[in-house]
């Protein structure tokens, strides 16, 4: 794994953007695997600024998102579909029909997972952007998720519900389950770009880079990927 340590969040985001821009320029029809959460917002801001200032086009770009809360409609303010529109898609020239995310309102969860897996089988990510949970999760793959997992529904752990409650009015409003790409779907990406910032990620980053490769720390599977880049700030890198 290549590790790049930056002074702060802005530098982390700028570095991530450099890599993302390289992928988009190399292939204007690239498949971008995207994440939500606080971590990639700076990357997305850089993409939007560059699109406005330099005209980089996303017209033929296709995207697949990692995960979506179960039970939230796409227009719900806390849904990940909404997050992606607000933070990225609405400000680019990307075609909405080229953006993909699990349907949180699917009435048949098993067939929704099958649909998403089939889609991913035909859409290898040129780059997959990831954040990391303080417990080492990637997407919503919580500790104990098999490395061979594909898209599935998960019950969220208390630690993830607590971490994510900051975006909801009340902790009771955080959905208890979600659809998520599995670790195998993530590992199929040609390139993985994992970002981490802040002291609360230091233990998870240690497990990602230096810990044992174990299903107890889902992110540790990335040690087995042949093109994985971690960009993290000094606080998140404190234990490396």
Distance of CA 184 to the CA centre of its chain: 14
152 binds ligand F6R (CB under 6 A): no
- Our finding on whether 39 is near ligand F6R (CB under 6 A) is yes
Binding span for ligand F6R by CB under 6 A among 128-136, 144-152, 215-223, 228-236: 128-136
The closest alpha carbon to 178, from 159, 197, 194, 157, belongs to: 157
Q: Do the beta carbons of residue 194 and residue 152 sit within 8 Å?
A: no
| Region binding ligand F6R by CB under 6 A among candidate stretches 87-95, 105-113, 126-134, 185-193 | 126-134
Per the annotation, the verdict on 200 as an active-site residue is no
Q: How far is the CB of 145 from ligand F6R (least distance, A)?
A: 12
Terminal C-alpha separation, the chain: 13
Would you call 185 a catalytic residue per the annotation? no
Active site residue 76: no
Residue range at the interface with ligand F6R (CB under 6 A); choices 8-16, 37-45, 55-63, 210-218? 37-45
- In this chain, which of 20, 31, 32, 35 binds ligand F6R, going by CB under 6 A? 35
Q: What share of the chain is helix, strand, coil (3-state, %, to 5)?
A: 40, 20, 40
Residues of 212-224 as b/e, b for ≥16 C-beta within 10 angstroms?
eeebebbbbbbbe
Selecting among 46, 51, 65, 67, the annotated active-site residue is 67
Given 46, 65, 100, 135, the catalytic residue: 135
Using CA atoms, how far apart are residues 179 and 151, in angstroms rounded to an integer? 7
Positions annotated as catalytic residues are: 67, 135, 137, 142
Interface positions with ligand F6R (CB under 6 A): 35-39, 66-67, 131-133, 137-140
């Amino acid at each position: 794994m290549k590790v790049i340590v930056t002074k702060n969040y802005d530098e982390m985001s700028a570095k991530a953007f450099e890599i993302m821009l390289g992928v988009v320029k190399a292939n204007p029809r690239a498949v971008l695997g995207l994440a939500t959460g606080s971590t990639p917002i700076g990357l997305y801001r850089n993409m939007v600024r560059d699109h406005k200032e330099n005209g980089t086009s996303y017209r033929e770009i296709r995207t697949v998102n990692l995960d979506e809360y179960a039970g939230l409609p796409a227009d719900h303010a806390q849904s990940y579909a909404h997050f992606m529109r607000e933070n990225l898609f609405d400000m680019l020239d990307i075609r909405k029909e080229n953006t993909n995310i699990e349907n949180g309102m699917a009435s048949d969860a098993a067939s929704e997972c099958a649909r998403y897996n089939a889609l991913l089988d035909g859409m290898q990510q040129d780059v997959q952007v990831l954040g990391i949970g303080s417990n080492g999760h990637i997407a919503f793959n919580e500790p104990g998720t098999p490395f061979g997992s594909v898209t599935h529904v998960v019950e969220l752990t208390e630690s993830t519900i607590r971490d994510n409650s900051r975006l909801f009015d009340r902790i009771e409003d955080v959905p208890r389950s979600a659809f998520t790409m599995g670790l195998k779907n993530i590992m199929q990406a040609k390139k993985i770009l994992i970002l981490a910032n802040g002291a609360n990620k230091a233990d998870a980053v240690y497990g990602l880079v230096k810990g044992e490769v174990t299903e107890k720390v889902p992110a540790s599977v990335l040690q087995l990927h042949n093109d994985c880049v971690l960009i993290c700030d000094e606080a998140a890198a404190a234990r490396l």
